[in-house]
Amino acid sequence: MTNRSVPTTGDLVAGALKGRRLDVGGFVLVVGLLLALLISMIVLVTLIADMIQQGLPVLAERGWAFVSTPLSPDAHDAGIVQGIMGSLGLMLFVVVIAFPVGVASAIYLEEYAPDTRLTRFIVANVRNLAGVPSIVYGLLGLAIFVKLLGGITGGRTLISGGLTLAILVLPIMIITASEALRAVPMAIREAAFGVGATRWEVIRYQVLPVATPAILTGTVLTIARAFGESAPLLLSGAVLSLFFASPSGATLWDFVAHEKYTALPIIVFNWARQPQKEFVALTAAAIVVLLAILLLVNATAIVLRDRFERRT
């Protein structure tokens, strides 16, 4: 009576659970993704290694003098202090203008503005503005800050350049801050309203503290983006020359108030155009300094985020 060909429950379960099928599609996808990652890493590492290799002799030979001496047509004396000071001054403008205006705009759009067609139109256009090529902002800066408001900004000054960069990053600032605010759970707002908080108290005491790490990270990364910009500065008045008189003092403010300025990416761009062989190494060295500063800025962003996240 016992029919051996009838499988037991155990056999059926074993048959269903055992036996690995080869997931070819998944395998190909993972290999493809890894390959893509590998290629981008190789390109990046090669570029950085190449720059360090070329620039290191200059940095080793000149040491601190490279970053503390002014520009010079003589490749053996040329330093980048004006570029560093100029870039720092520009970032000061970005932080002082784009950060508060951007965060305030985001708070308005996310927390106060009614969801009307006008609001959505504005939000859509902020996104569009973030995608406008930076050279267009350069033209805008030239037309408005250098020409139209030249009486106030002094024309082709660091003030004009700083304002141009601030306007350039403002849409990105608004978007990152908006996203940070939107990521705060509605339940937290409801809870705060539920104990009788006003809208501002809800934002000030509950929403902003939660959104701050993301807002700060976004801000720092935005600053890093502005730090590397050169095209808009070329149009809005940065000095593109192998040599110009450095301001008399040494403080940052002297550089801001000085009527001539340049920035680190501008120096890189300018040196890279020079035919002399010595400038190739100088360019690489300036790039290494630029990258080091960007790395520092990004590390700051990570530390800031971690610090704030651990507090909650």
Q: At what angle are helices 264-272 and 81-93 packed, to 10 degrees?
A: 140
Smallest separation, CB 197 to other proteins (Å) = 5
Considering only the stretches 52-60, 88-96, 146-154, 197-205, report the one whose residues sit in contact with other proteins under the rule CB under 8 A.
Answer: 197-205
Closer residue to other proteins in complex, CB, 20/311: 311
Token pair of 173 as six digits: 């600032």
Alpha-carbon 9 to chain mean position = 61
Closer residue to other proteins in complex, CB, 19/196: 196
Q: If binding means CB under 8 A, how many residues of this protein chain bind other proteins?
A: 21
Token pair of 218 as six digits: 């976004």
Q: Under a CB-based contact definition with an 8 Å cutoff, are residues 291 and 48 in contact?
A: yes
The answer to whether residue 107 forms part of the interface with other proteins (CB under 8 A) is no
Cα dist. 42→46, 104, 150 in Å? 6, 41, 46
d(CA 188, CA 104): 20
Among 197, 221, 272, 280, binds other proteins (CB under 8 A): 197
154, 157, 161, 163: CA torsion to nearest 10: -30
Residues 169-188 that bind other proteins (CB under 8 A): 185, 187-188
Closer residue to other proteins in complex, CB, 10/114: 114
Map residues 198-237 to x or -, x wherever contact with other proteins holds by CB under 8 A.
x--x---xx--xx---------------------------
Which one, of 290, 257, 286, 248, lies nearest residue 270 by Cα?
286
Applying CB under 8 A, the residues found at the interface with other proteins are: 114-115, 185, 187-198, 201, 205-206, 209-210, 312
